[in-house]
Chains A and B, each alone.
Chain A
């Protein structure tokens, strides 16, 4: 038996534990790296919203500088505020810079989800349960079988109609 302590992990029940720990640690390190990217896009996302808010509010101040004094004035102020904010925010959401950043933000979020899935897969396999990929395989097979059965049923129906005619 080896005297090296790390070699102990390569035999018996500790072997799987060590391998799984390594996989999970790797995923956690990658999660941290992706979190940095995710936070960058998230910051940019809120920056775009805040900047748009600031510009829209300035427009409202120019268009309705007086403090509303009665119910009618409040109503018209509200209308101006909503119209300007809706226009400016729609312009933002419709812009290339928003679309691109939002796409990147969602993409980073998905990468984080993927790491989480990988960690869960390690745990599932350690207790002899199928991983997400293995379940997906089953779904794919089921889908393909359903399609084949559907086609066969259709052919059968056509033959029956032909025979009855």
Chain B
């Protein structure tokens, strides 16, 4: 007897189309080294060791008086803030008339394993602030810190309040014990002394492992299925490859900095308890007395809202604003929501104080 097949012919059609797309992909997409992530024109105005201070060229005739320095995270690179023109954080701020600088932390090598929080806060970040102050003839600048760059900027704002006119904390890593993410769980169980003593800098491979356990099936399967399904959509493919290139390019983190970061933030949670020291200087969050704008993404699975939010309540500033957005860690800075909601709100707040 013959059994009747119930398989929808459309399924076969879809499967054949999908297979064809997989085979065609190498002909249709660019290789990672053919994609440039440098979108908005800028000049390198200062170089110290491996770090670079970038100054973006203005896009408006008139600019606000107070320049803005962005301190990007230590994981991955600053390119996500300028990943493509229509989703560029930097370009949006330039179009709103801000004078924008970016601190590129560069790529540390084995030789840099002894760089610590002090070097980043009182060295590289402070030198950049001093340069901008001199260059723009201002006494204070606006400072934005994103993710782990937010931890460094928070320490800076506490130690050098006289140089910071406005502080913007975007998904900052602050209260490690409240962090509910997988990364915080791994960090809490890490023998970081042994890691740094044995291998020196924190290798990018370890970070890639951490990324791979975040929504592994959505990110490891569905994302690529969508990519092959949309292989004919040039805009989609271009955007996808840019993000992939950015995701696959994270520098090592200097050993001593990584050690202090894991211990003081995730394991002992010293920053939010006002017990952290950078060099020999005490970080007191109450000393952050300048206008402060804290941005949090509700769906953040890299830095949970519970980890960032305590900053708003711990600082000494009287002029402080907390904004929460229905998006994720990257969505807050590089999406249509960031262009239509996050940046206009930030721009309005900052313009009133610049």
B123–A150 touching, CB < 8 Å: yes
Residue A47 interfacial (CB < 8 Å): no
- The 8 Å CB contact of A93, one of B112, B114, B115, B213, is B213
B114–A143 touching, CB < 8 Å: yes
Mark each residue of chain A from 67 to 101: 1 if its CB lies under 8 Å from any CB of chain B, else 0.
00111001000100110011001100111101110
Chain A contact residues, majority secondary structure: helix
B189–A103 touching, CB < 8 Å: yes
In B301-350, which residues have CB < 8 Å from any A CB? none
Chain B contact residues, majority secondary structure: helix
B185–A110 touching, CB < 8 Å: no
A95 to B113, CA, bound (A): 31
- The 8 Å CB contact of A100, one of B8, B189, B215, is B189
Q: In angstroms, how far is the closest chain B Cβ from the Cβ of A148? A: 12
A86–B217 touching, CB < 8 Å: yes
Residue B10 interfacial (CB < 8 Å): yes
A89–B217 touching, CB < 8 Å: yes
Residue B7 interfacial (CB < 8 Å): yes
Residue A58 interfacial (CB < 8 Å): no
A109 to B171, CA, bound (A): 32
B113–A99 touching, CB < 8 Å: no
A89–B216 touching, CB < 8 Å: yes
A69–B218 touching, CB < 8 Å: no
Count of interface residues, chain B, beta-carbon cutoff 8 Å: 37
Instruction: Chain B residues near A69: list those with CB within 8 A.
Output: 6-8
A99–B123 touching, CB < 8 Å: no
| A82-B221, A110-B191 known; A90-B111 Cβ under 8 A | no
A101: nearest chain-B partner, CB-CB: B189
Mark each residue of chain A from 116 to 156: 1 if its CB lies under 8 Å from any CB of chain B, else 0.
01000000000000000000100110111011001000000
| A99-B189, A139-B111, A143-B115 known; A82-B218 Cβ under 8 A | yes
A-B contact count (CB 8 A): 82
Residue B119 interfacial (CB < 8 Å): yes
A86–B111 touching, CB < 8 Å: no
Instruction: Chain A residues near B111: list those with CB within 8 A.
Output: 139, 142
- The 8 Å CB contact of A107, one of B194, B200, B214, is B194
Instruction: Chain B residues near A93: list those with CB within 8 A.
Output: 182, 185-186, 213
Q: In angstroms, how far is the closest chain A Cβ from the Cβ of B315? A: 28
A56 to B151, CA, bound (A): 37
Instruction: Chain A residues near B221: list those with CB within 8 A.
Output: 82
Residue B249 interfacial (CB < 8 Å): no
Residues of A within 8 A of B (CB): 69-71, 74, 78, 81-82, 85-86, 89-90, 93-96, 98-100, 102-103, 106-107, 110-111, 113-114, 117, 136, 139-140, 142-144, 146-147, 150
Q: List 13 A–B pairs whose Cβ atoms lie within 8 Å, in order of A's numbering.
A: A71-B10, A74-B11, A78-B222, A86-B217, A90-B214, A93-B186, A94-B182, A96-B185, A103-B186, A110-B195, A111-B194, A136-B113, A140-B114
If A100-B189, A103-B186, A139-B110 are given as contacts, then 17 extra A-B residue pairs at C-beta distance below 8 Å, sorted by A number, are A70-B8, A78-B222, A86-B215, A86-B216, A90-B182, A93-B185, A94-B185, A96-B185, A99-B189, A110-B191, A136-B200, A142-B111, A143-B114, A143-B115, A146-B49, A147-B119, A147-B123
